[in-house]
Structure 1
C-alpha cells in the first residue's frame, strides 16, 4: 500500500500506521528492528535447547535469520519492503509448518499452541478494533481482510463488498476460520483442558474458567453486537488469560 501511494501519507496509511507504531514497527525501515529482534530472540532461545531441537527446524530458523540479515543490507532490491516481507512470511510459514507437523504433542507443544493462539487472537482484536472504528478511512475493511488472509473466504461467503458485519463475522466470530478470534480462543480452551491440572477442578481452575468464559461469550455473540469497545474487552480478557497461564505454570 505504501508503494502504491508513492510515499504519500494517505488517510489509510496514517490510520493503519497507528497499529504498526504500537507494535514498534517503523515503515521507513526495510527490516523493522522489532522484527529483527524477535527473530534473533527465537534463534537465541532455540540455541539453548539445541539438543532438543530438530535438525530441519534449526536449519529453517537459521535460514530465516540469515535472510533477514541479508535483506536488511541490500539496497538494490526494488519494491523492497513488500518483496522482503513476502520472502520472510514464506520462510516463517515453513518453520511453523515443521513445528506443527513434526513436534511431539507433549506439554511443551501445548504451551506453544496456547502462546501462538493468544498472540494471534490479541493481534486480530487490536487490528480489527482499529479497522472497524467509526473514524476508519475508506479501504480499512479491505485491509483487515487481507491481513487476516481471508480474501478468498470472504469472497466465497459474502457476495457483497466488505461491510463491518461481514468482516467481524469472518475475523472475529467464525469458528472455522483459523484467523478468527473465536477459532483461536477455542484452541486455547481445548489446550488448557489438557494441561497438567488444567481443568476446572485443577490448580489452573481460574485459567480454565477464564478461557471457557471468553469462548462462550464469543460463540454466543452476533456480528452486529461487535464494535471497537467489545474488541477492547476481548483484548483485555486475552491478556488476563495470558497472565493466568504464567501464574499457574511459569511462576
Structure 2
C-alpha cells in the first residue's frame, strides 16, 4: 500500500474518533456546569481547555468559549467541525480503498454540519453532540461491515484506537480534576456509553474509584484505555508481523506494549492515587507511537535526482 494512502486512512480514523470523543468530553463538561450551580465556570472551562491543549491565551473562558474553540472552530483539526472536515478531505483522496458508503457518510456529515452548528450556536448543544456521536458511530459501523480485513482496514483501526486512548485519558483527566461525586461520574460513564456496562460489571452504585478503574483498565469494554491500547497493538502486529526471535517488530509496538504493561501489572491501588501522572504517561506514549508509526509506514521516499546525460565521447 502506498504510504500516502496508509497515512490518510490512519488520520481518517483519528479525526472521526477525535470528533466523537470531543463531543463526549464537551458534553460531560456542559452537564457538569448544569448539574452544579456552585461550580466556578471560568476555572472549569479553563481546566478543560488546558487539558485539550487549546486556548492558552484565553482569559476567563466561559461555556460559550469552550463551544467556539473545541466544537465550532473550522480552522483547526482540534475542534469537532475541523476534525470532520479533515476526515472528509483525507477520504476524498482515498476513495478507491474505502467503500462508497463510507465516503457518502463523511460527505453527508460534512454538508449537514452547517445547520447543526447554527443550532448549536442558538443553544442546541446537546443535539449537536448527539448528531456527531451518531454519525461517527455510523461511519465506524460502515467501516467494519463494508471493508475487507486488509491493511486499509488495519490502518483505519490503528488510528481510531490511538485517538481513543488519548481522548479517554483526557476525559478521565477532566473528571478527576473536578469534585469526585458519584453524580458527576454517572454523567461521565453515560457520555462514554459505559454506564450500563459499568452497572452490569460491578452491580452497585457508581463509585468514583471504580468508575475510573473501569474506564482505565477494563479488558472487555472497548472504550477503556487498556482495551484501546491492546487493539492498537494488535493492528500493529498484523501490519508488521515479527519475524525475528528477539524483541518486537517496530518501535511503535514496543512503546504501546510498555504503556499497556504499566497499566496491566500495577495494582489499582497504585494507579489511582497517581492517576493524573499515569494518564500523562499514556498520552506521551501515544505521541511517541504516532511518531514511530509515521517513520515506519508513512515516511516519504526522496525522489531520485535526475542528472542530464553527458554526450558519449567515444
Flag structure 1 segments of 5+ consecutive residues without an equivalent: none
- Within a 5 Å distance, the mapping from 1:52-201 to structure 2 comes to 52-74=97-119, 80-133=124-177, 136=179, 138=181, 139-197=183-241
Distance 1:153 1:108 in 2: 30
How many residue pairs match? The answer is 249
Scaled by the length of structure 1, the TM-score of the pair is 0.84
Tell me: CA distance 1:146–1:17, structure 2 relative to 1, closer, same or farther (3 Å): farther
| Aligned partner (choices 30, 47, 52) of residue 18 of structure 1 | 47
Distance 1:176 1:69 in 2: 37
| Aligned partner (choices 89, 94, 115) of residue 44 of structure 1 | 89
Could you tell me how far 1:213 is from its partner in structure 2? 2.1
Could you tell me how far 1:175 is from its partner in structure 2? 0.4
- 2:278 corresponds in structure 1 to 230
Contact 1:19 1:130 in 2 (8 A): yes
Could you tell me how far 1:241 is from its partner in structure 2? 1.6
Structure with higher Rg: it is 2
Q: Segments of 4+ in structure 1 off by > 6 A?
A: 6-9
Tell which has more relative contact order, 1 or 2 (C-alpha 8 A, sep 6+): 2
Flag structure 2 segments of 5+ consecutive residues without an equivalent: 1-28, 56-64, 74-78, 300-314
Distance 2:210 2:191 in 1: 15
Contact 1:114 1:187 in 2 (8 A): yes
**Residues 117-126 or 219-228, more deviating:** 219-228
Tell me: CA distance 1:93–1:155, structure 2 relative to 1, closer, same or farther (3 Å): same
Could you tell me how far 1:188 is from its partner in structure 2? 1.2
Q: Pairwise CA RMSD of aligned residues?
A: 3.1
Distance 1:214 1:193 in 2: 16
